[in-house]
Each structure stands twice: as structure tokens, then as C-alpha cells.
Amino acid sequence: MKVITDERCAEYRQPSHPERPERILSTIQLLKRQTELPITWASPGAASEAVLVRAHSAEHLGRLDEPHDFDGDTPFFPRIANYARASVGAALTALQAARSGESVFSLMRPPGHHATRNRAMGFCYLSNIAIAVLEALATGTQRVAVFDFDVHHGNGTEAILLNQPGALFFSIHQFPCYPGTGGRNVGKNCFNYPVPPATPRGEYRHILTSALEQMLSFKPDLLAVSAGFDCYARDPLAQETLEQEDFYWLGQSLRAAGIPLFSLLEGGYSNDLPELIFAYLKGVEGK
């Protein structure tokens, strides 16, 4: 398992904000301490302007340098544009690793799936996964599917990939919940699976299975996973019910598809996040 990270992504913080540096630092600690899963560590590559502007407007990229908060959840931080670019760079490195047949996970912040073409929101500044998908499509992959199991709807990914030839988007999320979108399918290629709050685990897994089956029926050449661990039963930001073993099962189920796969960390705010990520990685690796 290759894990792409850079401890510098822990350099910014807002006191009491749930998207905090410890999410990454404590996961690195657990992954370094464990002995079950051999891990190769890698650093994020670069993300060029040309790659970013496929997904974002020039105005948005400029706005990231202006020292004003984006919304109540999404503060401005000095150098946030650089941190966001490093997270994109990790997504691009993950894409390359998946194409070389490696198992790979990007363990970075900020997350990306709420950022739209023109707007930072929901703790997200740049759309890491949409940028990687557009890069894959621009460099020879025919059909790329995003599987977004974060408990929140991936509105930014959806907005950027909407009706994009070769791209497919599948999001399984609590509804109603932030950001309020994702109640139905949109366009030709965006499929949403809204799940009521407090849906029992077995039912939640059944819905995840349906989404996965529908995604595979399109025969994608590459899977890009927005891995959010806030559908966990004890996550403070949502009301769903999954347990640690369900993330192992998710990893295994994605691996079983037999398609090159890369995963990027999105949400997940409980103190158990390191264990949840570790369970998922073991599933993806088939351990």
C-alpha cells in the first residue's frame, strides 16, 4: 500500500474546527506503528496551473490568495492556496500510482469534494478528485468513475464533472444534510443515493452495494474514490451508522471490482478516524 502524505498539511488550523491537523497526524502515527500492512510512503507531486484550470476558474484560483474567509466553515489561512495545491498534487500522484497497478491512498488535507469551479466551501478549496479525473481523461483514460462514500454529498465534484464525457459520478450520502444537494440524479452522468439519517447499517451497506453495482455496469477503466469516514456511527458531523468493519468491507468491495483504483481522504471527524482509515486500507489491499 502506497500512502501519499506530507506533514506540512498539518501546519494550518483554526481552533475547535473539526477539520483539524490531528486527523492526519494521528493517522500517520497509527500507520507507522502497525505491522499488519506494509506501507510505502510517498510525497505529493506538483500540480500545474494548466491542470487546475480544467476544473476551476482563474478568478477562483486568484481568490484563494485573498485574506478573507470563504464562508463560516471555510476560513482563509495564510498559504491556503499552497496547501490546497499540495492536496491536488497528492491526488495526481495517486492517479499515477493507480495506473501503475499500485494500491494507493492520499492522506492529505484540505479535502476537496465540496469545492466547485468558482467557490471554496465545506472545508474544501480545490476539487482534488475532479482535477485528477479530468487529468486522467486528458491523458488517455476513456472512462473514469468517482465513488464518493463521504456522508456529505460531493456537490463540487458533481458540478465540475456534470455531463463531462467519460466521467461518471456516484455519491452515497446522508440526506437531508450539508450541503443540501444530492437528492436526485442530475445530467447524464451524476447518480445520487440519498440516505435518510440514522439508516441502519445493513440498509446503508445495501445502498452502497447498489451504487457500486450500478457504477460497475458502466464498465469504467479507472475508479477514483472520495473516501470520507463521516458516515461512521460516532462521527460528530452526521447521523449515520457504519462501523469500522464496514470500511474494511468497502475497501474489499472496491478491490473486488478488479479495476485500477485510487482513494483520496475527504471527511471523517471522529477520534477513531485513524482506525477507520486503517480498516479501509486493509480492505483495499486484501489483507
Q: Whose CB is nearest to Zn ion?
A: 267
Question: Is 136 exposed, middle or buried (CB count within 10 Å of its CB: 0-12, 13-18, 19+)?
Answer: buried
Over the window 177 to 216, marking each residue x when it contacts Zn ion by CB under 5 A and - when it does not, the resulting string is: ----------------------------------------
Q: Cis omega (within 30 of 0) on the bond before 176? A: yes
* 6 touches Zn ion by CB under 5 A: no
Shortest separation between residue 196's beta carbon and Zn ion, angstroms? 17
Q: Which CB atom, from 6 or from 235, has the smaller least distance to Zn ion? A: 235
114 a catalytic residue: yes
* 251 touches Zn ion by CB under 5 A: no
* 150 touches Zn ion by CB under 5 A: yes
* 230 touches Zn ion by CB under 5 A: yes
Q: Which stretch binds Zn ion (CB under 5 A): 89-97, 198-206, 209-217, 226-234?
A: 226-234
Residue selected from 44, 267, 274, 283 as contacting Zn ion according to rule CB under 5 A:
267
Which one of the listed residues 56, 113, 114, 173 is annotated catalytic?
A: 114
* 228 touches Zn ion by CB under 5 A: yes
CA angle 166, 125, 66 (to 5 degrees): 135
| List of E strands, the chain | 2-4, 40-42, 104-106, 144-148, 167-174, 190-195, 222-227, 261-265
Q: Cα–Cα distance between 242 and 208 in angstroms, integer?
A: 11
Q: Cα–Cα distance between 164 and 168 in angstroms, integer?
A: 8
Q: Which stretch binds Zn ion (CB under 5 A): 149-157, 208-216, 250-258, 278-286?
A: 149-157
Q: Contact 25/12 with Cβ under 8 angstroms?
A: no
* 158 touches Zn ion by CB under 5 A: no
Q: Cα–Cα distance between 203 and 236 in angstroms, integer?
A: 21
Interface ranges with Zn ion (CB under 5 A): 150, 152, 228, 230, 267
Give the residue numbers annotated as catalytic, written as ranges.
114
